[in-house]
Each structure stands twice: as structure tokens, then as C-alpha cells.
With several copies, the nearest count.
Chain A
């Protein structure tokens, strides 16, 4: 079991007060907080060995290169990649998915081809494929899901056909919390010769993830959602598929030789890292991975499962509030989106903020999904390894208070009218 009390001491921001109340940070699906080990890695880099990487003959440059490549190795081991050359550093999940779209889909989709995804994707795993399909004359198709937010795979056999060139699925929904059986889908997709992309933005931070078990060709995720800094993300590329990719961003670092009229490309993964990389943040991401690895992702998952169970139980006490997503925490991550019939999500968000509780309100970059839930926006609480049952209690108490506040306000208004 995680020693959450000890862990919390590593996170300076958790000591912060908001409007005089202790911060209860429940917006982890948007971005996580960072332990001092990560902040310290940044400071150390900038104070003692900041330099541009690769091809440097001086001490600082060699050290920066060493550490940058060590971070790549850590990422590679963390997701069970066969080697570090599979790991391309990007800005975030969004850029990683666009990379696949520009470097693979643009060159392999044709008229009549199909791309298969789900109806619970983040905009970042939907809009790039809309464009790719549109430009290449392909069709975007969707795996349906049941009312409880679980994918309905009963028709998968007929959804994946020989026209299906690419299947892209989120490993965990950032709205419903659903954990999708990606490995199963991947095997069926591969059997039909399709390429498999996994959006791991929500899963890699919260579950043990192994690319060989998932059997995916691409996996995208962001450091900032897993204790790492902003500005650094990852695209895992299965070695066997490298030859099918065209370069994406062009410029320094990604070339081998350049003449005035043409150029040749560098090896993997440099071929996809054009220009000066985000060296400091990659190295600090390495520190985040060290931190997670020391705790153990299985432990992290256990903690969040317990916390989510507890939260779902407490939410059931709020009779008026509707919670979305699966009830079974074995197929659900620590994301709880909910609807309050009397209080608009934004009003709720503002109210909770004043109680020190940070949640998110809106469409969570999944407009079509949220629309399909019959609401225009939801409120969302999302957990991470440093959250506690006490914090869930604060959330629930604040929600009860909000209900009372807005009910009383309505009453006052009505009374005033009557008087």
C-alpha cells in the first residue's frame, strides 16, 4: 500500500492554501502536480549542466546528452518497449497523435479505406483522424459503447474489415474513466492487417502499461499528467513499423546529410525529433518515472481503485447527483464525471474552488461524448496517488454545501418575490 502521507510531503503545492482552505487538488486528469524530485531535476540541469545535446564535444554537452538519453531509456523500460530507439519525445499526447497522422496516415490511407475509433475519444484522438480521413478520402467509423460507458465489442468483427487501415482507441477515457480492453482490440485489428494506435494519456500515468502486452504499434502519452513537467510527451513507435513512416517535422537533428536540394534522414528516434529538443523537461520526466517506478505502478493502481470505490460510494449518498461511467472499478480509472441537475457545472466549479477543492467543469475536450450524455458540460473530479479518502470527504461535503447554497438561494429568491 502507498504511504500517502509520506508521498504528500514530496509535493510542495499540496501544502498550499486556497482562499484560506487547504488545497484539495482533484483535477489530475487535466494535469498532475509534481514532486520536488522532478523540480529538483530541472534546477540541477539548469544550474550545472545545461547545454545542447548531440554532437557536443564539451563536458556540459556530453553530460546533457547522457542524461537526455538516460531519460529515454527510463521511458522505454517503463512501458516495456523493446529498446530506447522506439521512444520519440514530443511536446504532448496531442503532438504524438498528430505525428502518427502526418507520418503514417497521410501516406497510407486511400479512398475507401477506414479508420476505426470510439465515441469516447479526446479531441486530440479524434480531430487528427477527421482530417486524415477527409484528405485521403477515407471513412471514420466508431465502436459504440453501452450506457455505462463500456465499449460494446459485440460487433467488432464486422467493424474491423479488410478496409480498416488504422484502429485508434483511448486506453482510458478522461470523461467516463472507462478502461478499454485495448489488447483485445489490437489483436483483432492486427489479424486484419490494421495498424493500432493507443491514446495512453490517461492510462500510462495510472496503470501498469506494457506495449508488448497491449500489442500496439503506437502509444502516445504526456509527462505532465504523470508527475512530469509540461512540454514533454512520448510517442512509442513499434520498431517493425518504422519503415512505413515518412518524416514529419524537418530541420536540424532529424537529418543525416543535407545538400542545397535534398537531404537524407537520421536514424530512429532522432528522425522524429527535429530541432533542439526539450532537454530539461525530458530529463525531469526521467525523474518522474523514477518516482513512479519506485512506488510501483501496481501500487498506484491499487490505491486509486480503492479511492475510486470510496468516492463512488460517497457519491451515491448525493441523491440528486448523476455519476457517469462504469460502476465496476476494475474497468474504471480514478475519474468521476457527474451532473448536478440544479447547479450548472461552472457554478459548481466556482463554488468548490472557494472551498479549496479544484475540480474541472466543461466538455473535457470531448464535446461529442459529453453531448451524447445529454448535457452540455459535466463536473469532473479526478484522482492521483497523493489523494486521500479525507479529500473525497471534503469534496462530498462541499457538494452538499453547494446543493444547500443554491437551493437556499432559490428559496430566498422565491420568498423575496412573494413578499
Chain B
């Protein structure tokens, strides 16, 4: 930017890149809305700048994600990202979860994942368009940052108790 040299003719095409159908689907129909009681990992995230909120609960079985709960309110990006994350996590080991979080964060920060990695991210790939909107990256990462914090707390508590 900086100079008036953007190609013209932008418009809904690029908006469609940002607001991809699958994103709007998750936004309108968020998955795993029910609160999971007796969960092992609990995480809450807020972005005070836009008021977006998410809460995540995971039940673990042998360090693998079993039941998942995701609640929240906010913009399409933050809520779709949270909903997709919940879907992706199911059945993954905690180590895999952490790796996926890293991959996703990398993708938004401009590190293009390899095709195989992209596949691993599943629907979340749809959020790649967000990197053009630095201000919205925080929205896309809201649930993930909360999750990572929750995991850290979980591991710490476990260490203390062992």
C-alpha cells in the first residue's frame, strides 16, 4: 500500500476470500456448543478490543481429546475459528494439539504450511485469507491462544500433583 497503486476491481471476490462459505457456516452454526462438565482442560479467552469471547472445555482420555465444548460470541472470524478448532481437536493427542496450534499460528503469521500440513488443518485452512487483515489475526487466534494457555495450566497442575 502507501501509494495509490492497488489493482482496481477488488470487491466481493476478495471478501469471499476472507468470509469463506465454511467460515460463515461455522459462524451461523457453531459446533459443540454445549458446556462439557467435568472437563480436564478449561480455557477462556477475551479480546477486550472488540469484546469477542470464547470458552473451551476438553475431556481427556489417556492424553487424547475426547468430548469438546466451545462457547462464545463475537465476530465471524473469532467464532468460526473456535468452532472449527473444536471439530479438529477431537481424538488428537495433546502433543498433536500443540503442533496444530503452532501450524495454525504459523499460517496466519505468513509461514505457508506444506500441503500435507495444510491438509491436517482441515477446514481451518479457510482462515488463511485473514492474514491480509492484521487486525483480524487476533480474532482468528483467540480460541487457540486460550486453548494453549489452558493446556499449560493443565500440564502444570498435573506436574504439581505427580
Interface residues, chain A, with chain B CB atoms under 8 Å away: 15-21, 44, 48-49, 55-57, 59, 61-63, 65-66, 256-257, 344-347, 350-351, 354-355, 361-363, 367, 370, 375-377, 405-406, 409-410, 412-414, 416-417
Contacts and interface: CB of A to CB of B under 8 A. Distances in A.
Contacts of A61: 135
A344 B74 contact: yes
Q: Is the interface of A mostly helix, strand, loop or mixed?
A: helix
A413 B50 CA distance: 25
A213 to B, nearest CB: 31
B50 A376 contact: yes
A57 B19 CA distance: 15
Contact of A405 (B9, B12, B134): B12
Interface stretch (B24-32, B34-42, B61-69, B120-128): B24-32
B75 interface: yes
Contacts of B11: 19-20, 354-355
A361 B8 CA distance: 25
B29 A354 contact: no
Interface residues of B, number: 35
Contacts of A56: 135
B136 A413 contact: no
B74 A19 contact: no
B48 A257 contact: yes
B50 A361 contact: yes
Contacts of A375: 51
B7 interface: yes
Contacts of A409: 19, 21, 24
Nearest to A344: B75
B1 interface: yes
B157 interface: no
A410 B76 CA distance: 11
Q: Is the interface of B mostly helix, strand, loop or mixed?
A: loop
A21 B9 CA distance: 8
Contacts of A49: 1-2
Interface string B1-19: 1111011111110110011
Given A347-B75, A354-B11, 17 more contacts: A19-B8, A21-B10, A49-B2, A57-B136, A63-B1, A346-B50, A346-B74, A347-B76, A354-B14, A354-B15, A355-B11, A362-B49, A363-B49, A367-B48, A376-B50, A410-B24, A416-B21
A20 B24 contact: no
- Centre residue among A256, A347, A377 by max chain B CB count within 10 A: A347
Given A15-B4, A63-B1, A413 B51 contact: no
Interface in B43-81: 48-52, 73-77
27 contacts: A17-B6, A19-B11, A20-B6, A48-B3, A55-B135, A62-B135, A63-B1, A65-B134, A257-B48, A345-B75, A354-B12, A354-B14, A354-B15, A362-B49, A362-B50, A367-B48, A375-B51, A376-B51, A376-B52, A376-B74, A377-B51, A409-B19, A410-B24, A410-B28, A413-B28, A416-B21, A416-B25
Contact of B133 (A18, A62, A361): A62
B136 A346 contact: yes
B1 A20 contact: no
A413 B7 contact: no
A20 B8 CA distance: 4
A376 B7 CA distance: 35
A412 B43 CA distance: 32
A375 B10 CA distance: 31
Given A56-B135, A354-B15, A345 B6 contact: no
Contacts of A20: 6-11
Contact of A413 (B8, B24, B52, B73): B24
Nearest to A257: B48
A347 B74 CA distance: 10
B4 A347 contact: no
A152 B73 CA distance: 33
Interface string B124-151: 0000000001111001000000000000
Nearest to B24: A409
A48 B18 CA distance: 25
A409 B24 CA distance: 7
B32 to A, nearest CB: 16
